[in-house]
Chains A and B, each alone.
Chain A
């Protein structure tokens, strides 16, 4: 086979191969699942009903630092860390800290009663069908997001927070 023909065939075949390889490597993956919302990413917007029947949007807290806590009444570490979250809310709300608890797939009755039993004053939102839970790809409970005033996730913490940790992480996101 002569050189020119070989060259042409190689060029065509290899370009097809490389194009296929590039496509397969660079193709947009169906929603990078199994990673969740990571630190450095913009916190996805959502709207949920709170236990007192109000519609609450994440953007309602624009300009404030937000602790977004995903929890459930049946989750023991969630119950354990609740007083620390309430304390942080009491201490820093005047400095521009909002605490938002997103309950996962439970009834309004149970969440409302839980809130009054624990004396929680920050808004408790209901995610009855788990839409926001899926949006944030929550795996273990509790999972807590620390969101800065620009709406960017600064830290994601999976598991029970101690009040010392909470103190440190709040300082990272509080407006100065």
Chain B
């Protein structure tokens, strides 16, 4: 049970006779007359309640833990759509339930955001609620208190006559680093009043971090996506007005095959001009206009191949042509001859009925069905050409010419992770503010001393909101120094 001081509004223990903050006597009878609690009061109590804030923080923590345990959308490794995947992964009932409740996209779900906002509101209203009493306590502490109040403090002393006058006590306390206020009869001195703002400053820091979190949901403040840039290709960077060109991807390996490092020679292009060139390596991203490009991975696929036409008997090369392995042309001229591409299987295989098929779309085992025609060829007959197995002929009549595989050129595609998070500086700033607040709150203490002159003696009371033992020693020294003054006067 607690009561509120009618003068400054600070909370005090129910059995307390004096307010610990302002020293006014606490009178139960002077509490404001009973008033019906309206909506405003109820909402106010709700948002300023420490219990409510604690519950919100615990629910958020529990949700964050659940979010790491339940596979989140976009993070599971399956081609399936979320609506189909979750019932498959967690069972019909549970999967559908998790999906419908938004537990599968936790950090963007309406209720998670709602809780974050509720916590933010609670922090703001609570801060407003505590501001005025705190301001009074720190900036306008009451100087006039009763001797009885001074004597109820944790540390107290009485100096009998002859005692130093208040002015001398004031100068002594000032010399000891205290802020002194006096009204002739009473004296109030305090030190480290900044520590009272500690929790307050911590709240502001937390609000900044919350705000940075909410930034993620505002377009243009946060995105995290992946782009693929092939060697020599220029790709527009998403959510930006510039593009990136790769002037070559390189992969280094140790002799035992372990990857040593991946790097992309990247050029930023804006408005048709080359703005910057940088080698993007693992852990060394390129950052331009707050967007960072990280080296993520790479793909290396055969890009094109040189094919030589040779005379079967002599082995003499008649001519060559270059085939694009992704999209071969329908015909390739060699002098007066023409090579017609009748069919193409990028990844050749035979199906269960021994028909030629392609196992995938990527040119891992390219096979062509080619037909040569032109002057000197009476009976054009199609023949197979296997890039990886040049001796394999397939069925069909042996022809006077044969194809031979030349050099295969590979094309590297660099996979770059493209990320922007404008909230990051705010998170750092907020963390710094939180640290400052915590240092103020925990390493400093607000030390207060009241001096009251009554009936021919000085009553001194002292209190610290933290580090009582430390203050006890300081208080003793201060009283001794005042007593010495007393002695010197004698």
Contact = CB atoms under 8 A, between A and B. Distances in A.
A109 B343 contact: yes
Interface in B84-133: 110, 113-114, 117-118, 120-121, 124-125, 128-129, 132
Interface in A8-39: 9-10, 13-14, 17, 20-21, 24-25, 27, 30, 34-36
Contacts of B214: 20, 24
Contacts of B161: none
A1 B129 contact: yes
A109 B73 contact: no
Contacts of A6: 40-41, 44
Interface in A88-123: 104-110, 113, 117
A87 B330 CA distance: 29
Nearest to B84: A158
A149 to B, nearest CB: 28
A139 B361 contact: no
**Most chain A C-beta atoms within 10 Å of own C-beta, residue among B38, B81, B113, B114:** B81
Interface string B47-90: 10000000000000000000000000110000111110000000
A9 to B, nearest CB: 6
B346 interface: yes
A136 B114 CA distance: 33
B354 to A, nearest CB: 14
10 contacts: A1-B129, A14-B121, A21-B110, A21-B113, A72-B361, A74-B359, A79-B357, A107-B327, A113-B342, A139-B81
A171 B80 CA distance: 28
A73 B357 CA distance: 8
B347 interface: yes
Interface residues of A, number: 35
A34 B84 CA distance: 11
Interface residues of B, number: 47
B114 A21 contact: yes
A83 to B, nearest CB: 14
Contacts of A1: 129, 132
Contacts of A21: 110, 113-114, 117
Contacts of A109: 328-330, 341-344
Interface in B333-379: 341-347, 351, 357-361, 369
A6 B43 CA distance: 10
Contacts of B346: 74, 106-107, 110
Contacts of B326: 107, 128
B341 A24 contact: no
Given A13-B124, A107-B326, A108-B330, A34 B81 contact: yes
Consensus secondary structure, chain A interface: helix
A139 B80 contact: yes
Contacts of A76: 351
A40 to B, nearest CB: 15
A165 interface: no
B117 A17 contact: yes
A17 B344 contact: no
Contacts of A44: none
A176 interface: no
Interface in B277-326: 326
Nearest to A79: B357
Nearest to B109: A25
A113 B128 contact: no
A23 to B, nearest CB: 8
B79 A140 contact: yes
Given A9-B125, A106-B361, 19 more contacts: A6-B40, A6-B41, A6-B44, A10-B43, A13-B128, A17-B117, A34-B73, A35-B83, A72-B361, A74-B347, A74-B360, A76-B351, A104-B361, A107-B346, A109-B329, A109-B343, A110-B345, A128-B326, A139-B80
Nearest to A106: B361
B217 A27 contact: yes
Nearest to A4: B40
B124 A10 contact: no
B219 interface: yes
A73 B43 CA distance: 65
B44 to A, nearest CB: 5
